[in-house]
Amino acid sequence: MDKIIEYMLAEDEGFGDITSNAVVEEGKTVKAYIVSKDEGILAGNKIIRDLFEEFGIKVTFWMKDGSEISKDDLLMSMQGDARTILLLERTALNLVMRMSGVATAANHYVSLIKDSDVRVAGTRKTSPAIGKFDKYALKVGGADTHRFALDDMVLIKDNHIAACGTPLEALLKAKQNTSFSKKIEIEVESLDDAVECVKNGADIVMLDNMSPDEVKEVIGELEKLNIRQNSLIEVSGGITDETIMDYADLGVDIISIGALTHSSRSLNFSLRME
């Protein structure tokens, strides 16, 4: 994450902040603060505090990650070199605004199913290079991060199956070639494939793009065969805040939502200098 932030700063600075260097006196010390112009859940405050402090800016927290924030809330204040604060401003704000947007979206969906025994999870549909920041924000918002990277667990998706044969063939190959220490999840699109994968020891079976009625049929068949408890059941694909309870009420274990990271709206924050 430090390397990513270093690149972000280099990208934004180019060959130097010619505006600040032209109009701001060198060595001038100022006070500044970040305020919210939005409502939601704060995430990333600690990360940007570390960023400012690394460049010698003294930072004071007023709200911490996970806090509910409202318009005009004071998030942090700082004191230090004016040119440095201006150099870091946009990178810091872009990060904390995006992360807070992801955390807010996650918190929204988690709150919708708070009375259900089901877990909301993100996906790997994150922004390139800043996936770990998105994952941190998901956690702050109360959602499960799912996989951080490809080495976290085996997740057999439609393209793996297309290159291999059938879902069952892919599952059996994974079980043969994977350490016992790694969980194996497989994505299926039909009742028969779901049943076969549960019977053959998949740790997690993802019901992809199934309607609530189709998911209900799968759950019912697994219960009828007395194998429902053998695998965790995850649902994914186009789930919205209008439909999430339709799935949660069916007794699934995990609801994964790519929109938490690929479509969430960044919150709006502002840095103001005295």
Q: Residues 232-256, buried b or exposed e (16+ Cβ, 10 A)? A: bbbbbeebeeeebbbbbebbbebbb
Tokens of 80: 């230090």
DSSP of 21-70: HHHS-TT-EEEEEEEESS-EE---HHHHHHHHHHTT-EEEESS-TT-EE-
- CA distances (Å), origin 56, targets 51, 88, 101: 9, 11, 28
Q: CB-hemisphere CA count at 13 Å for 190?
A: 7
Distance separating alpha carbons of residues 97 and 198, to the nearest angstrom: 41
Active site residue 125: yes
**DSSP code at position 124:** S
Among 31, 46, 125, 216, the one annotated catalytic: 125
DSSP element (H, E) containing 258: none
Q: Which of helix, strand or coil describes residue 146?
A: coil
Residue listed under structure tokens 């702050």:
140
Distance separating alpha carbons of residues 185 and 201, to the nearest angstrom: 10
Catalytically active residues are: 125
